[in-house]
Amino acid sequence: GQNIDQPTEMTATEGAIVQINCTYQTSGFNGLFWYQQHAGEAPTFLSYNVLDGLEEKGRFSSFLSRSKGYSYLLLKELQMKDSASYLCAVASGGSYIPTFGRGTSLIVHP
């Protein structure tokens, strides 16, 4: 099985930077995904990491360290619309189906 941990809730100020961490324990790692989910809406894909390092995509960046079983999602220049749940998901064990963490609820306040 897999164990995926991420903080339940985080708060940050508009314009600031926030880092959402995700740790996982798994065998046969096949990739790590980050999704954003606004309340009452479907998750939307943000990023995919399979190799160690940082992937930057606009205001969002995702980092992976396979040896440490660790990833983070970095959100810069926070906007109110970034208030959402951020889901970390890991594919492993010969399957490409990701297992999701419980998500981190990010609240951005003025």
Partner 1 sequence: KAGVTQTPRYLIKTRGQQVTLSCSPISGHRSVSWYQQTPGQGLQFLFEYFSETQRNKGNFPGRFSGRQFSNSRSEMNVSTLELGDSALYLCASSRIGTNTDTQYFGPGTRLTVL
User: Does residue number 52 form part of the binding site for partner 1 (CB under 8 A)?
Assistant: no
Task: From 10-18, 20-28, 61-69, 84-92, give the range in contact with partner 1 by CB under 8 A.
Answer: 84-92
Q: How far is the CB of 23 from partner 1 (least distance, A)?
A: 15
Q: Which is nearer to partner 1, 14 or 45 (CB)?
A: 45
User: Which residues in 18-47 contact partner 1 (CB under 8 A)?
Assistant: 30-31, 33, 35, 41-45
C-beta atoms surrounding 58 within 10 Å: 7
Is residue 100 involved in binding partner 1 (CB under 8 A)? yes
CB 96 within 8 A of CB 44: no
Distance of CA 56 to CAs 47, 66, 95, Å?
A: 9, 18, 26
Residues that bind partner 1 (CB under 8 A): 30-31, 33, 35, 41-45, 48, 50, 87, 89, 91, 95-103
